[in-house]
């Protein structure tokens, strides 16, 4: 029929039919006939929309960096959205303006604005490791944004996939990190060598301590042996002294005995002693006889002793 069109929308698209500036029909997944000369059809996508973003920022130390991520949102209140942006479609379902594309740009601008403040507060080296923190910050900030509320949007997810430095700076940082790692490796080798030296020193100290202990034990053994030898020598000295004392006492006793014997012999006539000592020896008796004759020579007038007599006396003794 001329001028009349039939519209059937999917469940993920909210359609509003305007006539004379008023909404006469709306809803998701609706279908209806409308007269094109007097009607306007507004269509809003209700499904989730993925918006990738890439932009450059400057860190606190004036270094360029690139932030790359993705935003996912959905239209929760299409009435608010169509009041700010034109989502009118023609009879072929095409948008009659570029306003629907502006929504993504506005959201990316909000993300970049908050990211700019974040990157200005930290140096590049720290920012490269804070993608997760930036994701959480941007998500929370965008959900609380007036732009999100005014357009009737619901922010589902926001992820910062990477924060990258320029290729030249990345190489420089890699070289610096590599040098630090090499230094750490050198320090580890140095520490390992020091540890080995320290362990070797402790081993030598233990060996020296063991040798010292063994030497002390040997010295104690030698001292004990020397003390035993000294004790033996002292006992020997005491024994010698005791033997000497005993011999001295024995000699004194023999002297006393001899002295007593001599004192007793002083009282005996020497002739008796000689006779006792000579026993039956004729020569002794003859000698004593001649000794008595010699002592009493003044009493003898004349004494003749012939050689034959002497020879006879001597011969008898020999026999």
pLDDT of residue 131: 92
d(CA 1, CA 36): 11
Burial class (CB in 10 A: 0-12, 13-18, 19+), 134: buried
pLDDT over 70 (residue 273): no
Of 1.10.10.60, 3.40.50.300, 3.20.20.70, 3.30.479.30, which CATH number belongs to 48-79+97-165?
3.30.479.30
Q: Report residue 239 as tokens.
A: 């024994």
Higher pLDDT, 273 or 2: 2
H-helix or E-strand spanning residue 101: helix 99-119
18 sits in the region (left: phi over 0; alpha: psi -120 to 50; else beta) called beta
pLDDT of residue 136: 94
Burial class (CB in 10 A: 0-12, 13-18, 19+), 41: buried
155: CB partners within 8 A, 6+ apart: 71, 72, 73, 139, 142, 143, 148
Of 89, 108, 86, which is closest to residue 99 (Cα–Cα)?
A: 86
Percent over 70 (pLDDT), the chain: 84
Handedness of CA 52, 86, 96, 40 (dihedral sign): positive
β partners of residue 53: 69
116: CB partners within 8 A, 6+ apart: 57
pLDDT of residue 284: 63
pLDDT over 70 (residue 59): yes
d(CA 261, CA 270): 14
pLDDT over 70 (residue 207): yes
Neighbouring CB atoms inside 10 A of 139's CB total 19
Lowest mean pLDDT of 75-79, 114-118, 207-211, 260-264, name the range.
260-264
Percent over 90 (pLDDT), the chain: 41
pLDDT of residue 48: 92
Q: Could you state, in order of their start, the residue ranges of all structural domains in the chain?
A: 1-47, 48-79+97-165
Which residue carries 């970049």 as its tokens? 112
pLDDT over 60 (residue 278): no
pLDDT of residue 309: 67
d(CA 125, CA 297): 157
pLDDT of residue 3: 78
pLDDT over 80 (residue 192): yes
- Per-residue pLDDT band at 260 (split at 50, 70, 90): confident
Q: Report residue 183 as tokens.
A: 């230094």
Q: Give the residue-averaged pLDDT of 89-112.
A: 91
pLDDT over 90 (residue 316): no
pLDDT of residue 172: 86
Q: Give the residue-averaged pLDDT of 233-257.
A: 87
What would you measure as the largest C-alpha separation in the chain, in angstroms? 226
Q: Give the residue-averaged pLDDT of 268-277.
A: 62
What is the tens place of the pLDDT at every residue in 30-55? Answer: 999 888 888 999 999 999 999 999 99
Of 5, 96, 107, which is closest to residue 42 (Cα–Cα)?
A: 96
Neighbouring CB atoms inside 10 A of 152's CB total 18
Q: Report residue 109 as tokens.
A: 């601008």
Q: Give the residue-averaged pLDDT of 190-213.
A: 91
What is the average pLDDT score of the chain? 86
**pTM (two decimals):** 0.56
pLDDT over 80 (residue 287): no
What is the tens place of the pLDDT at every residue in 137-183? Answer: 999 999 999 999 999 999 999 999 999 999 898 888 888 888 888 88
pLDDT of residue 17: 92
């Amino acid at each position: 029929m001329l001028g009349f069109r039939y519209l059937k929308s999917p469940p993920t698209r909210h359609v509003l039919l305007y006539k004379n500036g008023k909404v006469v029909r709306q809803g998701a997944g609706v279908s209806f006939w409308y007269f094109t000369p007097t009607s306007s059809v507004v269509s809003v996508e209700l499904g989730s929309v993925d918006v990738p973003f890439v932009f450059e920022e400057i860190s606190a130390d004036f270094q360029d960096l690139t932030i790359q991520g993705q935003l996912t949102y959905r239209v929760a209140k299409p009435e608010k959205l169509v009041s700010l942006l034109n989502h009118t479609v023609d009879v072929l379902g095409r948008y009659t303006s570029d306003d629907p594309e502006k929504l993504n740009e506005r959201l990316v601008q909000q993300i970049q604005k908050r990211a700019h403040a974040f990157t200005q507060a930290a140096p590049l080296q720290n920012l490269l490791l804070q993608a997760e923190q930036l994701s959480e910050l941007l998500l929370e900030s965008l959900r609380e944004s007036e732009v999100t509320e005014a357009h009737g949007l619901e922010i589902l997810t926001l992820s910062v996939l990477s924060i990258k430095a320029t290729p030249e700076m990345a190489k420089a940082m890699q070289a610096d990190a590599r040098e630090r790692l090499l230094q750490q490796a050198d320090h580890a080798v140095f520490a390992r060598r020091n540890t080995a030296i320290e362990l070797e020193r402790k081993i030598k100290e233990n060996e020296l301590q063991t040798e010292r202990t063994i030497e002390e034990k040997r010295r104690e053994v030698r001292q004990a042996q020397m003390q035993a030898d000294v004790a033996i020598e002292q006992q020997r000295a005491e024994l010698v002294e005791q033997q000497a004392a005993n011999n001295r006492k024995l000699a004194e006793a023999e002297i006393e005995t001899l002295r007593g014997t001599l004192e007793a012999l002083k009282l005996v006539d020497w002739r008796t002693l000689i006779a006792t000592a000579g026993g039956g020896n004729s020569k002794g008796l003859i000698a004593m006889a001649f000794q008595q004759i010699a002592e009493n020579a003044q009493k003898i007038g004349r004494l003749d002793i012939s050689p034959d007599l002497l020879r006879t006396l001597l011969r008898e003794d020999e026999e």
